[in-house]
Chain A
Amino acid sequence: MLALQGAFALHLDALGRLGVEGLEVRTATDLAQVDALIMPGGESTTMSMLLESQQLFAPLNTAIQGGLPVFGTCAGMILLSAEILDGRSDQRCFGALDMKVRRNAYGTQIESFETDLDVAGLDEPFHAVFIRAPGVEALGPGVEVVSSHQGEPVLCRSGAVLASSFHPEVTNDDRLHRLFLETIAGA
């Protein structure tokens, strides 16, 4: 669990409910001990800077290119993307998902919303909370859209990488965490 800033404690609660041990990752030494990683929601610009100052960006990049299963939510999706629109010029991303994302695509906090989504692989709709959420603007051919909202992709997968523009950790519905652990991380 990447624990530089943001809603990492809520993700750890979800992992705990699923009987999975979650480790807070703040250094390269922590990273070496995990089998899969979740990148939480939070401020993507802050996280990008802290990844650098904690000397975590390069080892994490190597791990992701080497096939580490990763689930990124909101800011995590931004970090996993290939190109960031409306970000800071010095903001970095891992390019693990061949897609462009626009930060705060839905507007400021008063435009933040919750809604039900149909998700491929889940029987019942998933209640999703979007907080100053990013929007996916362009997708490469290798990226599978697992769920959309009003025609826009909001949950995407490519290989061992899953990313949502919403926050599955703020509700008590653990189905997406389970989906990630079982079908992607092979737990």
Chain B
Amino acid sequence: MSEQETNRETGSPLVKRGLAEMLKGGVIMDVVNPEQAKIAEDAGAVAVMALERVPSDIRRDGGVSRMSDPEMIQGIQETVTIPVMAKARIGHFVEAQILQSLGVDYIDESEVLTPADETHHIDKWAFTVPFVCGATNLGEALRRISEGACMIRSKGEAGTGNIVEATRHLRSILGDIGKITKADNAELFEWAKQLQAPLPLVQEIAETGELPVPMFCAGGIATPADAAMTMQLGAQSVFVGSGIFKSSDPSRMAEAVVQATLNYQDADILAKVSTGLGEAMKGLEMATLETKMAERGW
């Protein structure tokens, strides 16, 4: 008994990454209140992301976007039994400390909120709670992992309902991983330099052919077909933000996205779950955007 107590460890990299492993093949949904959280859980979400406004509203309203009110987060924690994630601003380590104190299950250091530091991301090793971070390319993903992120998600362009940026980011990250697995040892030094990423992580990818942490997709998923496409491209789970609760029938859309994420290779099922969902969220063309959230973070 005493021996078991002395070697019991919380917040280790394995424990942090472990939860990301358990979320694979699932859908993580943005919710702004307990009612939405309930709808998400009822539809089969594996986790919810608690935030004050969904990205499309943040985009519309403008202003500085911050961590949510703890009261709202606690209300969601009391409502659902699945993991609850919440967002902190890039570099805002005190928001992260507060979220850890609230007992959230994962922190998203997110470009959807207004960055709090133009140079530094949060030192995520200093926390017991695990972090997910966005990335647009492999270098960014590896820098976040070197800072302690235990899950990477493609950034996409949040709040647009347009999948094109997520596709670009996934193809870029997974494409470079593929190239690195074919590189010889000498070329790995150049890869590390080009990616501005730690050499040991590049060497690890060369050996394993995958990121050292799970790789999910976010940003612009608005339909079951979008979710299935990112899974076919190689994402291991999907985050859906505005796409659920900005559609005309959130409950049905949520269920359909869950079904599509499981059956992502089965076009017959995808056809069935895509049928009669009502209107998907209204999307935005990239050229019309005033703010590109994906450009936040470095």
Q: How far is the CB of A9 from chain B (nearest CB, A)?
A: 7
Which of B40-48, B155-163, B281-289 contacts the other chain? B40-48
Q: Which residues of B contact A54 (CB under 8 A)?
A: 262
Q: Which residues of A contact B84 (CB under 8 A)?
A: 108
From 110 to 161 in chain A, residues with beta carbon under 8 angstroms from any chain B beta carbon are 110-117, 129-132, 149-151
- Do A110 and B4 contact each other (CB < 8 Å), given the known contacts A5-B25, A42-B22, A43-B26? no
Q: Which residues of B contact A4 (CB under 8 A)?
A: 25, 262
Cross-chain contact B24 with A113 (CB below 8 angstroms): no
A103 within 8 Å of B (CB atoms)? yes
B100 within 8 Å of A (CB atoms)? yes
Cα distance, A2 to B1, chains bound together (Å) = 34
Q: Which residues of A contact B11 (CB under 8 A)?
A: 110
- Do A110 and B14 contact each other (CB < 8 Å), given the known contacts A6-B22, A6-B24, A42-B24? no
- Do A114 and B15 contact each other (CB < 8 Å), given the known contacts A88-B41, A108-B104, A150-B1? yes
From 1 to 42 in chain B, residues with beta carbon under 8 angstroms from any chain A beta carbon are 1, 3-5, 7-12, 14-19, 21-26, 41
Interface 1/0s, chain A 5-26, versus B by CB < 8 A?
A: 1111110000000000000001
B139 within 8 Å of A (CB atoms)? no
- Do A110 and B10 contact each other (CB < 8 Å), given the known contacts A46-B45, A50-B262, A129-B15? yes
B297 within 8 Å of A (CB atoms)? no
Cα distance, A75 to B93, chains bound together (Å) = 32
Q: How far is the CB of A119 from chain B (nearest CB, A)?
A: 12
- Do A5 and B3 contact each other (CB < 8 Å), given the known contacts A109-B105, A129-B18, A170-B14? no
Interface residues contributed by chain B, number (CB under 8 Å): 43
Cross-chain contact A6 with B14 (CB below 8 angstroms): no
A49 within 8 Å of B (CB atoms)? yes
Q: For B128, give its contact among A46, A110, A129 (CB under 8 Å).
A: A110
Q: In the complex, which residue of chain B has the Cβ closest to the Cβ of A43?
A: B46
Q: Which residues of B contact A109 (CB under 8 A)?
A: 16, 19, 83, 104-106, 129-130
- Do A42 and B262 contact each other (CB < 8 Å), given the known contacts A109-B83, A132-B83? no
Cα distance, A112 to B17, chains bound together (Å) = 11
Q: How far is the CB of A141 from chain B (nearest CB, A)?
A: 25
Cα distance, A149 to B8, chains bound together (Å) = 10
B294 within 8 Å of A (CB atoms)? no
Cross-chain contact A115 with B7 (CB below 8 angstroms): yes
Q: How far is the CB of B132 from chain A (nearest CB, A)?
A: 12
Q: For A49, give its contact among B5, B21, B44 (CB under 8 Å).
A: B44
A61 within 8 Å of B (CB atoms)? no
* A-B contacts, 30 listed (Cβ < 8 Å): A6-B23, A7-B22, A9-B24, A26-B263, A43-B22, A43-B46, A45-B41, A46-B44, A46-B45, A46-B258, A49-B258, A50-B44, A54-B262, A75-B22, A88-B41, A88-B81, A103-B81, A109-B105, A110-B10, A110-B100, A110-B103, A114-B9, A115-B7, A131-B19, A132-B83, A149-B4, A150-B1, A151-B1, A170-B14, A170-B18
Residues on A close to B: CB < 8 A? Answer: 3-10, 26, 41-43, 45-46, 49-50, 53-54, 74-75, 86-88, 103-104, 107-117, 129-132, 149-151, 167, 170-171
